[in-house]
Structure 1
Amino acid sequence: MNEVRWKWWLALAAIAASASAFAQPKVSEHVRKDIERHRAMAAAHENAARCLEAGKPEQECQERLRTECKGLAIGRYCGMRHEH
């Protein structure tokens, strides 16, 4: 019985190790930089949303968004399309 348990745990550990290898694939430097840029843009948009939720003027929140997104995205609204 002990031998069966030992083999079971060994198999489980092997499965866990292989699963973790698939969970985080290696990416190129270009892709890694894109990921960082997307996360920075997302944070800037989240900050803009919180600014609006706080009741601050839209112009102030948009200006903050533009400042935080400078060099990250295109357009006046950090890569997002707005209908005004």
Structure 2
Amino acid sequence: MNSPELITPIAQKARFQSIDTLRGIALLGVLLMNIIAFANPFAAYYLPSIDRADTGLNLAVFMFMDIFIEGSMRTIFSILFGAGLLIFINKP
């Protein structure tokens, strides 16, 4: 009978540090947006005026996160998932 191959962890030098770093940043961004979403009523996630956060610095932070963090972190995480899958498939 053929003996099954042993599954061992990948060596540290074989990992792509840049992909791991970007994946960690994207995961923290998704976590940040989920914390905000779970802490507020459903409608406040899209309309800052619901919880009176639509003035001054609150509005600026809301707009910044809505434009630069919400969709981009999810997109980066998805792209890195695909890149990791390609690396896994092409592994000898």
TMscore range, shorter length: 0.3 to 0.5
By relative contact order (CA 8 Å, sep 6+), the higher-ranking structure is 2
User: Normalising to structure 1: TM-score of the pair?
Assistant: 0.41
The TM-score normalised by the length of structure 2 is 0.39
